[in-house]
Amino acid sequence: MSFKYTPQTLKKIESLLEEMGYITRYEKGNFNSGYCILEDRKIAVVNKFLTVESRINVLLEIVPTIKVDTETLSTEGKLFYQELMKTPIA
């Protein structure tokens, strides 16, 4: 899948995470990888000082680590999720 690193793409990934039951928060902190996942609370905390491109890359790292029942996703969300799972992460 080829996509542009734009704020719209970021919103689309955030929406997918929301459909998966996760809340995305941008806060400051000392994250070695740029993010932290609180699995009990289903919260993904991302370093707020990252650029849009870096935020997208971080969220693309997070999505495959979350177990999701694709039947609970909307049609658009399911298609986007399947496309993301085909995309190799750089």
Mean pLDDT of 67-88: 88
Predicted pLDDT at 85: 86
State both tokens at 2.
Answer: 């080829």
Per mean pLDDT, which range of 22-26, 43-47, 74-78, 84-88 is the poorest?
Answer: 84-88
Domain range list for the chain = 7-86
Beta-carbon contacts of 39 under 8 Å, excluding residues fewer than 6 positions away, are none
CA distance between the termini of the chain: 13
Residues β-bridged to residue 27: 47
Predicted pLDDT at 6: 94
pLDDT, one tens digit per residue, over 1-46 is: 567 899 999 999 999 999 999 999 999 888 778 888 888 899 999 9
Contact 34, 50 (CB under 8 A): yes
- Alpha-carbon span 4 to 17, nearest angstrom: 19
Query: pTM, whole model, 2 decimals?
Result: 0.86
